Amino acid sequence: MASSRPLLRTARQLTTSQFRHISTTPSPPSPPPDLNTPPPPPKKKLKPLTPQQSSLLSSFLRVNQAGELAATLIYTAQTPPILAREPHLRPLMKHMYDQEADHLRVFNSLIATHRVRPTALYPLWSVLATGLGWSTAVMGKEAAMACTEAVETEIGGHYNAQIRKLLEMVTEWEREGYDVGEEFTELIKTLRRIRDEELEHLDHAVEHDAQKAEPHWLLTGVIRAGCRGAIWVSERV
């Protein structure tokens, strides 16, 4: 990611779009300025990203895209074995898959827009996520839901940590008198929405007997440790 606030519209783009609105037909004379009205406050500037901030944002987008790809693959692999035994879960599985597919679309688009390199371990994560989804679903509905519970617990915390970091950047820019910019504000809003949907999946999993999986502590412990490892590696590689 470039170091000049690539998440934000550049001054050149703003100027271009303003030019499009200039009319070529003569306009009526404008009234004399009201000298009693105070002038509007000067427009705040965007602060360029430091190289560290830029690389942090790249790593956020990279790991999120990898995680959402893994999530879609887990649900894709879980759905047939679960529905074979529990057909009434079709709407729930579809709902969760559809939300994951939307998250993946969001991060695919963000990494393309900001030219962030995807994780080099894409093929490895794909195989592991499919294997995790299929094996937990074959163990039964409870194990599949325990997998969702474990994954979403880690992912919810992961998105929260990212949101906290971005809010720290916002607080600092505002303290220094800079504009935060619409694109950055939108990114935080998107992360909050996705975080809430992940936590909704966690609730669904618990409501559908995740904690009755045997042995629950081992299954969720191993999966949570695996998620933390995958997050750590995907942020870097």
**Residues of the binding site for Fe cation:** 68, 100, 103, 152, 198, 201
Which listed range, 24-32, 55-63, 192-200, 215-223, lies at the site for Fe ion (CB under 5 A)? Answer: 192-200
Based on the shown chain and the rule CB under 5 A, indicate whether residue 100 belongs to the binding site for Fe ion: yes
CA 25 to each of CA 18, 22, 30, 121, 207: distance values in angstroms, whole numbers, following the listed order: 16, 9, 14, 58, 65
- Binding site: residue ranges? 68, 100, 103, 152, 198, 201
198 lines the binding site for Fe ion (CB under 5 A)? yes
**Spatial contact of 82 and 134, defined as CB atoms under 8 Å apart:** no
Only segment of 28-36, 50-58, 64-72, 219-227 that touches Fe ion (CB under 5 A): 64-72
Q: Shortest approach of Fe ion to residue 10 CB, angstroms?
A: 30
Per CB under 5 A, 103 contacts Fe ion: yes
Give the chain's end-to-end CA distance (angstroms, integer): 15
Q: How far is the CB of 192 from Fe ion (least distance, A)?
A: 13
Tokens 């529990």 sit at which residue? 86
Q: Is 201 in the site for Fe ion (CB under 5 A)?
A: yes
141, 209 Cβ separation under 8 angstroms: yes
The single residue among 46, 49, 71, 150 that binds Fe ion, judged by CB under 5 A, is 71
Are the C-beta atoms of residues 60 and 35 closer than 8 Å to each other? no
Q: Which of these ranges, 25-33, 86-94, 138-146, 196-204, lies near Fe ion under the rule CB under 5 A?
A: 196-204
Q: Per rule CB under 5 A, is residue 47 in the interface with Fe ion?
A: no
In the complex, least distance from residue 47 CB atom to Fe ion, rounded to whole angstroms? 30
Beta bridge partners of 34: none
- How many helices (DSSP H) and strands (DSSP E) are in the chain? 7, 0
Do residues 146 and 213 touch, judged by C-beta distance below 8 A? yes
Enumerate binding residues for Fe ion (CB under 5 A): 68, 71, 100, 103, 198, 201
